[in-house]
Amino acid sequence: MKQYYFEDLEPGTNESVKNIVTAELIKAFADVSGDNNPLHLDQDYAATTRFGKRIAHGALTSSFISAVLGTRIPGLGTVYVSQSVTFLAPVYIGAEITTTAKVIRRDKVKNRVTLETTCMVDDKKVAEGEAVVFVPSRPSFEE
Amino acid sequence: MKQYYFEDLEPGTNESVKNIVTAELIKAFADVSGDNNPLHLDQDYAATTRFGKRIAHGALTSSFISAVLGTRIPGLGTVYVSQSVTFLAPVYIGAEITTTAKVIRRDKVKNRVTLETTCMVDDKKVAEGEAVVFVPSRPSFEE
């Protein structure tokens, strides 16, 4: 678990996580969320759609953004303020998603940091958006 | 599983789902997403934070938005285009979240619908945002 303090987060600072989307992970996400739409769970139904086969929930992809923010950048101490995400392409079973959060600006009054959040499968961007998080300042030890 | 066609979705049309946030659900979401930040998992750590005790991942709350869109409105046939969400208040273990999606406008050119998405715990709004989804038109049976 990493911890960047507010002062450590310069524009451009970034971290990534990688996740492989398995059928088991999609089923687990459906169970946690309650989203049992057959586009994600039923191969026969999915074959009748524009996608041709089962796809991951967009919100599963979004959950990896939570992971990169909560465990890598800023990591410990992060408080999630807001997130936007646009889903650009379907994510199929077996895909490896690389999710990256990169600092784009800081608000020194509120100790908030805005990060660009991007999810890639190979060279294809499957989701993009922005996160805003509250980040604690580095403690000062004055005695 | 419900299915609203594009033509069925008037501004104001809405549906809700209810979910109780348990410690087990938080652990399951941490496992699925990889977000094992101790604010969500470690009571001793959480006690040292501004929240005083463990809170649910914001992205777990967001996952219930996926469920209301994917299973209630529009339900079957929905394709997730984008989501914004702002986290307004912490969600503690034991909370019952009511997640509502309400149509606010339609784009007839692209068959897209924008819905206001709101997560409430009792009378407190804990998250709010907007979803955009693609929704199929009602099939016409002409012979």
The per-residue pLDDT for range A44-101, each reduced to its tens digit, is 999 999 999 999 999 999 999 999 999 999 999 999 999 999 999 999 999 999 999 9
Residue of A nearest to B60 (CA): A33
Reduced to 3 states (helix: H, G, I; strand: E, B; else coil), residue A66 is helix
Q: What is the pLDDT of residue A140?
A: 82
As a whole number of angstroms, the distance between CA B40 and CA B56 comes to 6
pTM value is 0.96
Mean pLDDT, residues A16-35 taken together: 98
Structural element, H or E, at residue A64:
helix A58-71
Point out the residues of chain B with pLDDT beneath 70: 142-143
pLDDT in tens, B46-74: 999 999 999 999 999 999 999 999 999 99
Nearest to A33 among B38, B66, B87 (CB): B66
Residue of A nearest to B86 (CA): A82
The proportion of chain B whose per-residue pLDDT surpasses 90, expressed as a percent, equals 96
Q: Using a CB-CB distance cutoff of 8 angstroms, which residues of chain B are in contact with residue A81?
A: 86-87
Residue of B nearest to A132 (CA): B86
Residue A132 to chain B, least CA–CA distance (Å): 9
Q: What is the pLDDT of residue B140?
A: 81
Q: B109: Cβ–Cβ under 8 A, 6 or more apart, which residues?
A: none
The DSSP string of chain B is --B--GGG--TT-EEEEEEE--HHHHHHHHHHH----HHHH-HHHHHTSTTSS-B--HHHHHHHHHHHHHHTSSBTT-EEEEEEEEE-S--BTTPEEEEEEEEEEEETTTTEEEEEEEEEETTEEEEEEEEEEE-PPPP----
Residue A94 to chain B, least CA–CA distance (Å): 15
Give the largest Cα separation in chain B, rounded: 69
Residue B123 to chain A, least CA–CA distance (Å): 20
Residue B108 to chain A, least CA–CA distance (Å): 19
Nearest to B67 among A19, A35, A38 (CB): A35
Which of B3, B17, B19, B37 is the best mutation test for A, with the most CBs of A within 10 A? B37
Encode burial over B15-43: b for 16+ CB neighbours within 10 A, e otherwise: bbbebebeeebbebbbebbbbbbbbbbee
- Which residues partner with B42 through β-bridges? none
Whether the predicted pLDDT of A109 surpasses 90: yes
Average pLDDT of chain A? 96
Nearest to A87 among B62, B80, B86 (CB): B80
- Pairwise CB contact (< 8 Å): B80 & A63: no
Residue of B nearest to A64 (CA): B33
Q: List residues of B whose CB lies inside 8 A of any A CB.
A: 1, 17, 19, 25, 28-29, 31-40, 50, 57-60, 62-67, 69-71, 75-76, 78-87, 129
ipTM metric: 0.95
